């Protein structure tokens, strides 16, 4: 018997148990999104149209971007509690300085990304828990947002407004945007060679360190990326709402965490998925519309998000348990 | 052979301390090009620490590291990588969330750019095919979903992959611990082949047979020092065992006692490993000391944990009729509470009994700790000091005090003498015997064959199952070793 | 043990929170030339009470170890405030019933949180997060259009004071002494500390890990429920946002108060120092007349500075 046939013989039983479980887990976020869309289509077929989807998914874009930001942080086993107020801060900058004094505006936003990079360095070098540091940043960003824009107001730069209200042919803009975001981040984090190192540092930091990679650089990179996507999220949000408010992104912290988890991400171990995260964010956004169509009072909007999160986690727990038994 | 190639690495007078514990004491050590050096010693003898120094993951307190003939200042991981020194550590250093190919890329900064994934796959698959024909590992598989044996194969294979950086020395720290004998054989014969090409290896193994058969030269470590060295042909099993020392068996338990207990005292434990297919089970009577033997990691700890769980809830195949306490061998992860004092660490198993009314009495806690400090001789000026102020051996004594100070009649010991000095061992052996005579039952998993001489009855484990059941009078190291290697059907 | 505690009392970082509280108070009264010094303290004590109660809840949870945070506290407080006010129905005779109802709602939430953690095997932070979404909605739908005033007796009780010291502060002081005893001198408290240091070692040392975790989340829920009722009394009416600031405030108090965020080490007296410090800091900034933005900014920097100064907790394995 040749070694080839021996190895393929050994492969068969492995695949029989492993693939369905991995496949099921990977399919779960998409499945839940499909269910929500089907539900909406069932209740109101007209909603699943170009304009309907455009309307329903519009606000999903900033949520998806914030979720991606959170995902970078979660990939290296940290948590960013400040992303929501950071989005507010960016929104306030965008609706004021970015319009009136673009250079200053851009400089401030770049500074915000720099602060994120610095946070990554501090968290790594001082070995402090990210929840507490970002909790402090929660207050800092909110304070800055209020200082910049004490009262709701401001106006989005024209180009930003135009960009976010762009009409793509055939496929609604939010869907195109979501696809682009998911694929770009997927290529960077999941397919690039340095992306493997970044993810590996979430799975086994000391192994990455022992192989000679700088864990400091990795942490800084991931936090800076979170800053970049936080900025994009704030910009997208202001492009849609046209005016800002110092509390505009407050809910994004919890939404982004929920989105990452819904998308199949794990809290520790570097197991996250950009495509899943975007799908998770869209699912959470659409859940609200579904409830509207079901004539469930808007009171239960947040509750439904919680329920979806719990149902998905329960499904995952079941899959994991049966998978555990099989292998 | 050219002189420049002769010494790949040399360590001169390397010393390393961890707090109060001296892990390495002025060790001189060298490896030549194209040789396989076997490194042996008991647990805690300093082998792993020495290898961490070589790999650049630990900086020695004193001493010189000379690589390729040059003394290296500020030697660390990056430099080790550049100089072609690789290490397969005991704790797996793969990222479970990455695929096999991605893990291969982690070690090779040059695998980047377009098509890197394909190149990484080809690299690792080629090496796996070369080392373990018929391995059945797909480069796209997530490492976390591979069995532990396959993970070890990937890790070892990865250490031998070469791209741009040179490869001079591979340190294999217990590379066969999770491999079956066939795969272990494949690995070791590959080591011989690669050594013939001029690459050097350091082989650490508990299986002296592997060391004797596959290395050119052998270095024996004991208590943080290199105590013997020579060509492999100059050693035999007994020579190695003597050099490793630590045959601290104490007095052997009388046979009559063992036989008597089996007949007369009530059963405390009946337990079958989860994967046991035949009817074999572990039985322990009151007053017995039962040994759990076999190679490390073959299901002994798992059975102890099953018995421990079985004392508080129903588990099929496990029957426990006594209160149970466990003495951990892995102190850091299973034993000590690092923020607490010695007294609190001793008292934690007995907090219910330390109460006056509803509240825990510091007075009672102190008295319990003092009583055991005297009995087991914990060397500390003050029991209120943090537990980490103690040396390793004394920390272990505190864990013994925790278990023996409790009301438990059944004591489970999970290889508790790992890294403990001889003096401590002898004191603890006496204590265990005295406690057994007082009616306590001990289940004692040990990775040191000599300790089995303290036991009345020994169960030998292999691949998660009990494969032999030896009475006191049938017990010999050869019997145990022989049983450990019997193939399980 | 006790003596050792007293010796390192002086070396612990949380002592600084008291010093900090004293300093900001002095700075504030220096600014007003001593005017309103006492009133400032009274107001600070009254507000600190709520930080301390929620802080105790969060402290026990955080002490269970990494990943343990009760994110459902604000939603819990909001719901409990509505429940309490609805049951009390503005009538003094129903105060006890209302308090019990708020307590019950809190305990229910605690049990729910634990069940999610246990059954779904998910990190507590996610379990309490998803629970908080559902609690929020329950609160919105239950408290719709609700603007019930607390019974006069209850409102008076929450704001009553003797010699310038709020009654509630005295009660809370007694409560924190109890919490300290619970933490250091009972099986439950010792178990929490042990689990926070090393859950596996705790289990192997015979500690009923799951029972203790359940009790901790129930305790946190119950304290959230009680603070909801008290807040509704103090602010003369329930609202769902009433608890919003107490998520971050409770975590901040715990951290500044010297409790280790990586678990296993908790500090009760530090909570008071930290709560007073935070409240007085805001009072001081108020008297200086700075804007809300600056106040938030300073709060944020203080938290970050404290954690970086106290930081560097090396993982113990």
pLDDT digits over B123-182, tens only?
999 999 999 998 889 999 999 888 878 888 999 999 999 888 889 999 998 888 777 778
Q: Which chain A residues are closer than 8 Å to B111 by Cβ? A: 193
Neighbours of C208 (CB within 10 A): 16
Phi, then psi, of B359 in degrees rounded to 5? -100, 145
Q: State the architecture of C15-309 in CATH terms.
A: Orthogonal Bundle (1.10)
Confirm or reject contact between C43 and chain A (CB < 8 A): no
Tens digit of each residue's pLDDT (9 = 90 or more) over B207-223: 788 889 999 999 998 87
**The total number of residues written for chain C in this structure:** 317
Q: Residue B6's pLDDT is what?
A: 65
Q: Is residue A235's pLDDT more than 90?
A: yes
Secondary structure E strands in C147-282: 161-162, 165-166
- Closest CA in chain A for residue B82: A212
Residues 192-231 of chain C with CB under 8 A from chain B are: 193-194, 197-198, 200-202, 204-207
The rounded Cα B32 to chain-centroid distance in angstroms is 27
**Contact (Cβ atoms closer than 8 angstroms) between residue C221 and residue C106:** yes
Non-local (6+) Cβ contacts of A307 within 8 A are C130, C133, C134
Q: Is residue C6's pLDDT more than 50?
A: no
Phi, then psi, of B253 in degrees rounded to 5? -70, 135
Tens digit of each residue's pLDDT (9 = 90 or more) over A31-89: 888 988 898 888 888 888 888 888 888 889 999 999 999 999 999 999 998 999 999 99
Tens digit of each residue's pLDDT (9 = 90 or more) over C212-266: 999 999 999 999 999 999 999 998 888 878 888 888 889 888 988 888 888 898 9
**Contact (Cβ atoms closer than 8 angstroms) between residue B485 and residue B181:** yes
Contact C132 A306 (CB under 8 A): yes
Contact A6 B133 (CB under 8 A): yes
Q: Residue B172's beta-bridge partner residues?
A: B88, B203
Q: Which chain A residues are closer than 8 Å to B89 by Cβ? A: 210
Contact B341 C1 (CB under 8 A): yes
Q: Which chain B residues are closer than 8 Å to C193 by Cβ? A: 337, 339-340
**Contact (Cβ atoms closer than 8 angstroms) between residue B97 and residue A200:** yes
CA distance B455 to B359: 40
**Contact (Cβ atoms closer than 8 angstroms) between residue B99 and residue B180:** no
Tell me which DSSP letter residue B146 carries. S
Confirm or reject contact between B316 and chain A (CB < 8 A): no
Tell whether pTM > 0.90. no
- Closest CA in chain A for residue B101: A196
Q: Is residue C315's pLDDT more than 50?
A: no
Tens digit of each residue's pLDDT (9 = 90 or more) over C38-54: 888 888 899 999 999 99
Contact B332 C194 (CB under 8 A): no
Q: Residue B191's pLDDT is what?
A: 93
CA distance B477 to B238: 11
Under DSSP, is residue B7 helix (H, G, I), strand (E, B) or coil? strand
pLDDT interval class at B263 (50, 70, 90): low
Cβ-based contacts under 8 A for chains B and C: 71
pLDDT interval class at C180 (50, 70, 90): very high
Q: Residue B3's pLDDT is what?
A: 41
Q: Is residue A25's pLDDT more than 80?
A: no
Tens digit of each residue's pLDDT (9 = 90 or more) over B22-71: 788 888 999 998 999 999 887 667 888 888 898 888 888 888 898 888 88
Residues 71-90 of chain B with CB under 8 A from chain A are: 77-78, 81, 87, 89
Contact C200 B344 (CB under 8 A): no
Q: Is residue B224's pLDDT more than 70?
A: yes
Mean pLDDT of A171-191: 93
Q: For residue A161, count CB atoms less than 10 angstroms from its CB and return exposed for 0-12, middle for 13-18, buried for 19 or more.
A: middle
The count of C-alpha atoms lying within 13 angstroms of the C-alpha of B332, restricted to the half-sphere facing its C-beta, is 7
Residue that wins the pLDDT comparison between A316 and B206: A316
Under DSSP, is residue B271 helix (H, G, I), strand (E, B) or coil? strand
**Contact (Cβ atoms closer than 8 angstroms) between residue B462 and residue B433:** no
Q: Residue C7's pLDDT is what?
A: 47
Mean pLDDT of A160-181: 90
Q: Which chain C residues are closer than 8 Å to A309 by Cβ? A: 126, 129-130, 133
**Contact (Cβ atoms closer than 8 angstroms) between residue A174 and residue A54:** yes
CA distance A231 to A208: 29
Q: Residue B124's pLDDT is what?
A: 94
Which tokens go with B124?
Answer: 């690792």
Query: Closest by alpha carbon to C146, among C103, C76, C88, C222?
Result: C88
Task: Provide the shortest C-alpha distance from residue A24 to chain B (in Å).
Answer: 15
Largest separation between any pair of C-alpha atoms in chain C: 60
Query: Closest by alpha carbon to B136, among B144, B125, B120?
Result: B125
**Contact (Cβ atoms closer than 8 angstroms) between residue A90 and residue C276:** no
Q: Which of A5-9, A43-47, A222-226 has the highest mean pLDDT?
A: A222-226
Q: Is residue A15's pLDDT more than 80?
A: no
**Contact (Cβ atoms closer than 8 angstroms) between residue C293 and residue A114:** no
Q: Is residue B249's pLDDT more than 80?
A: no
Under DSSP, is residue A24 helix (H, G, I), strand (E, B) or coil? helix
Q: Is residue A12's pLDDT more than 50?
A: no
Tens digit of each residue's pLDDT (9 = 90 or more) over C80-134: 999 999 999 888 899 999 999 999 999 999 999 999 999 888 888 888 988 998 9
Q: Is residue B295's pLDDT more than 80?
A: no
Tens digit of each residue's pLDDT (9 = 90 or more) over B371-428: 999 888 888 888 988 998 887 778 888 999 999 999 999 999 988 887 676 677 788 8
Q: Residue C292's pLDDT is what?
A: 85
**Contact (Cβ atoms closer than 8 angstroms) between residue C142 and residue C242:** no
| CA torsion angle B174 B179 B184 B186 (round to 10) | -130
CA distance A146 to A152: 9
């Amino acid at each position: 018997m040749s070694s080839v046939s021996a190895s393929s013989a050994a492969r068969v039983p492995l695949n029989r148990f492993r693939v369905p479980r991995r496949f099921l887990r990977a399919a779960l976020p998409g499945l839940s999104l499909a269910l929500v869309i089907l539900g909406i289509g069932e209740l109101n077929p007209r909603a699943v149209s170009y304009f309907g989807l455009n309307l329903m998914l519009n606000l999903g874009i900033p949520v998806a971007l914030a979720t991606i930001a959170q995902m970078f942080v979660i990939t290296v086993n940290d948590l960013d509690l400040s992303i929501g107020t950071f989005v507010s801060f960016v929104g306030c900058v965008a609706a004021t300085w970015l319009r009136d004094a673009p250079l200053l505006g851009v400089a401030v936003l770049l500074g915000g990304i720099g602060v994120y990079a610095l946070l990554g360095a501090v968290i790594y070098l001082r070995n402090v828990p990210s929840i507490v540091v970002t909790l402090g940043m929660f207050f800092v960003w909110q304070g800055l947002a209020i200082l910049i824009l004490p009262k709701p107001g401001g106006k989005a730069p024209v180009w930003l407004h135009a960009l976010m209200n762009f009409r793509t042919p055939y496929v609604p803009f939010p869907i195109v945007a979501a696809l682009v975001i998911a694929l770009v981040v997927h290529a960077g984090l999941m397919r690039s060679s340095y992306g493997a190192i970044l993810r590996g540092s979430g799975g086994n930091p000391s192994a990455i360190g022992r192989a000679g990679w700088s864990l400091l650089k990795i942490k800084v990179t991931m936090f800076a990326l979170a800053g970049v996507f936080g900025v994009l999220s704030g910009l997208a949000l202001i492009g849609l709402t046209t005016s800002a408010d110092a509390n505009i992104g407050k809910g994004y912290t919890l939404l982004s965490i929920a989105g990452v988890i819904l998308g199949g991400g794990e809290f520790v171990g570097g197991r996250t998925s950009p495509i899943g995260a975007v799908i998770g964010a869209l699912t959470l956004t659409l859940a609200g519309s579904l409830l509207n169509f079901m004539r469930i009072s808007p009171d239960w909007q947040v509750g439904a998000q919680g329920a979806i999160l719990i149902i998905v986690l329960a499904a995952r727990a079941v899959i994991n348990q049966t998978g555990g038994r099989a292998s | 052979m050219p002189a420049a190639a002769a010494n790949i690495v040399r360590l001169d007078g390397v010393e390393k301390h961890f707090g109060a514990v001296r892990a390495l004491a002025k060790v001189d050590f060298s490896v030549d090009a194209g040789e396989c050096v076997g490194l042996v010693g008991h647990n805690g003898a300093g082998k792993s620490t020495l290898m961490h120094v070589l790999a650049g993951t630990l900086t020695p307190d004193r001493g010189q590291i000379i690589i390729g003939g040059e003394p290296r200042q500020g030697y660390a991981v990056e430099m080790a990588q550049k100089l072609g020194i690789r290490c397969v550590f005991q704790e797996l250093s793969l990222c479970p969330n990455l695929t096999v190919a991605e893990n291969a890329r982690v070690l090779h900064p040059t695998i980047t750019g377009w098509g890197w994934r394909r190149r990484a796959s080809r690299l690792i698959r080629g090496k796996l095919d070369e080392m373990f024909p018929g391995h059945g590992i797909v480069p796209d598989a997530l490492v976390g979903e591979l069995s532990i044996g396959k993970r070890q194969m990937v890790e070892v294979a990865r250490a031998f992959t070469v791209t741009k950086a040179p490869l001079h020395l591979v340190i294999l720290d217990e590379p066969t611990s999770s491999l079956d004998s066939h795969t272990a054989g494949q690995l070791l014969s590959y080591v011989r082949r690669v050594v013939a090409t001029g690459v050097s290896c350091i082989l650490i193994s508990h299986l002296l047979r592997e060391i004797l058969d596959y290395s050119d030269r052998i270095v024996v470590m004991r208590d943080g020092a290199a105590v013997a060295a020579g060509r492999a042909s100059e050693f035999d099993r007994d020579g190695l065992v003597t050099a490793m020392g630590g045959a601290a068996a104490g007095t052997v338990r009388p046979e009559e006692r063992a036989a008597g207990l089996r007949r007369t005292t009530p059963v405390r434990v009946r337990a079958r490993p989860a994967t046991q297919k035949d009817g074999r089970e572990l039985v322990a009577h009151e007053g017995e000391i039962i040994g759990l033997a076999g190679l490390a990691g073959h299901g002994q700890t798992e059975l102890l944990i099953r018995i421990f769980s079985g004392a508080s809830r129903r588990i099929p195949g496990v029957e426990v009729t006594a209160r149970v306490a466990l003495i951990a061998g892995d102190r850091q992860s299973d034993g000590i509470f690092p923020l607490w004092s010695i007294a609190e660490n001793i008292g934690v198993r007995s907090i219910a009994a330390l109460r006056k009314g509803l509240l825990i009495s510091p007075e009672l806690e102190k008295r319990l700790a003092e009583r055991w400090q005297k009995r087991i001789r914990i060397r500390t000026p003050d029991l209120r000091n943090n537990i980490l102020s103690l040396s390793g051996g004394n920390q272990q004594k505190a864990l013994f005090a925790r278990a023996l100070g409790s009301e438990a009649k059944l004591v489970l010991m999970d290889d508790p003498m790992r890294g403990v000095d001889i003096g401590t061992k002898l004191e603890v052996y006496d204590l265990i015997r005295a406690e057994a005579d007082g009616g306590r039952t001990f289940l004692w998993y040990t990775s040191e064959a000599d300790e089995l001489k303290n036991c009345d009855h020994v169960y030998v484990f292999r691949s998660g199952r009990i494969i032999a059941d030896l009475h006191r009078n049938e017990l010999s190291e050869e019997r145990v070793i022989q049983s450990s290697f019997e193939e399980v059907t | 043990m006790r003596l050792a505690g007293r010796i390192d009392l002086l070396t612990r970082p949380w002592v600084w929170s008291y010093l900090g509280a004293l300093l900001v108070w002095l700075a504030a009264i220096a600014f007003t030339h001593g005017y309103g010094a006492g009133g400032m303290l009274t107001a600070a004590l009254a507000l600190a009470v709520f930080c301390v109660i929620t802080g105790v809840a969060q402290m026990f949870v955080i002490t269970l170890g990494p990943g343990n945070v009760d994110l459902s506290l604000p939603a819990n407080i909001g719901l409990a405030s509505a429940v309490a006010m609805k049951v009390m129905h503005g009538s003094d005779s129903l105060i006890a019933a209302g308090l019990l109802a708020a307590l019950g709602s809190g305990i229910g939430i605690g049990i729910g949180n634990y069940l999610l953690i246990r059954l779904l095997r998910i990190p507590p932070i996610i379990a309490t997060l998803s629970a908080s979404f559902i609690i929020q909605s329950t609160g919105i739908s239950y408290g719709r259009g609700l603007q019930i005033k607390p019974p006069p007796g209850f409102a008076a009780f929450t704001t009553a004071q003797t010699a310038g010291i709020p009654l509630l502060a005295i009660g809370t002081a007694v409560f924190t002494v109890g919490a300290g005893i619970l933490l250091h001198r009972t099986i439950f408290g010792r178990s929490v500390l042990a689990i926070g240091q090393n859950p596996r070692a705790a289990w192997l040392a015979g500690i009923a890990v799951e029972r203790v975790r359940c009790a901790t989340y129930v305790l946190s829920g119950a304290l959230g429920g009680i603070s909801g009722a008290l807040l509704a009394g103090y602010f003369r009416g329930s609202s769902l946002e009433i608890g919003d600031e107490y998520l971050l405030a409770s975590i901040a108090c715990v951290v500044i108060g010297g409790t280790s965020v990586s678990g296993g080490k908790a500090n009760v007296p530090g909570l008071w120092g930290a709560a007073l410090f935070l409240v007085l800091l805001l009072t001081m900034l108020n008297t200086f007349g700075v804007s809300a933005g600056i106040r938030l900014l300073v709060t944020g920097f203080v938290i970050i500075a404290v954690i970086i100064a106290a930081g560097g907790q090396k993982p113990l394995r």
